[in-house]
Amino acid sequence: MEFKLDHIVHFVDRHPLEAANMFIKQDLQAVMGGRHENWGTHNSLCYFSDLAYLEFLAVEDRNKANGSQNPLIHHLLKQPAEGLSQIAIRTDRIEKVKEELDEKGLETGEVIDASRKREDGSLLEWKMLFIQQSDEDCPLPFFIQWNQTDDERKQDLHKNGALTSSNLGVSISNVHYIVKDLNSAVTKWRKYFDLPRGEETVNDEWRARSCAITLPSFKLVFTEASGAGIVQQMLEKKGEGPYLVEFDPPVFKSYYQVFGSMYK
């Protein structure tokens, strides 16, 4: 199964431009994305090389959000604190991905048609596929298929100013997940997504042990707390899921808190 990072979702309980401004201060381009009118949400976006991006997603109309059938919005409403939430994997064969996941014993929903009205009034459209799981489980990725080709999207993003040369020199290199059981999490992701297992490492300062899975364009790093420290604190505050994104080259000089999660 292809595994190309499309974007990382970071839920914020504030106007999404506040999060975008944290990256603008680092001389990177970040812009308002627009409104998901059927979901009651809006977002800001920060694009990097390979079209991978950060999405800062917030509730704009709680009544609409409460009535939404989108699993991502349900997750937003139930997440106990601001912070990174899920990753989206880009594909150009979403129905085939659904078939492959179903064959592996995962329960998927129907492919969802989605759209966002941008600040200039234009409509952006795509399809989404979610894996059904309980709220307590570490969130598995969802899948997205854009109605434009990658080249068309890149041209469009350059044209509307969302993707600039300052961002093209930066890539998302590592996405870190906090998990309760390291071996169980790594085994599950390897089984479902045909991913190789890396070596385990220990971080005495953070009181944690990790295992990295190397993908073509980035690494997934799963981390389990081994004692009282920052990893255990973040697990207690937000639960299992992504908590840290690293860039190449680093965007921030050190690990930097951005509304419930960490970036470097």
- pLDDT at position 1 over 80: no
Write down the pTM of the prediction. Answer: 0.95
The confidence score (pLDDT) of residue 210 equals 97
Each residue's pLDDT tens digit, 70-109: 999 999 999 999 999 999 999 999 999 999 999 999 999 9
HEC letters along the chain: CCCEEEEEEEECCCCHHHHHHHHHCCCCCCEEEEEECCCCEEEEEEECHHHCEEEEEEECCHHHHHHCCCHHHHHHHHCCCCEEEEEEEECCCHHHHHHHHHHCCCCECCCEEEEEEECCCCEEEEEEECECCCCCCCCCCEEEEECCCHHHHHHHHHHCCCCCHHHHCCEEEEEEEECCCHHHHHHHHHHHHCCCCCCEEEECCCCEEEEEEECCCCEEEEEEECCCCHHHHHHHHHCCEEEEEEEECCCCCCCEEECCEEEC
Does the structural domain 4-167 have CATH classification 3.10.180.10? yes
Instruction: Tell me which of 143-152, 189-198, 200-209 is least confident.
Output: 189-198
Cα three-residue angle 72-91-164, rounded to 5 degrees: 85
pLDDT tens track for 32-68? 999 999 999 999 999 999 999 999 999 999 999 999 9
Distance, CA of 85 to CA of 66 (rounded, Å):
18
Q: Is a pLDDT exceeding 80 seen at residue 2?
A: no
What is the reported pLDDT for 94? 97
Q: Do domains 4-167 and 171-263 have the same CATH topology?
A: yes
- Give the type of residue at 195: L
Domain ranges of the chain: 4-167, 171-263
* Domain 171-263 superfamily per CATH: 2,3-Dihydroxybiphenyl 1,2-Dioxygenase, domain 1 (3.10.180.10)
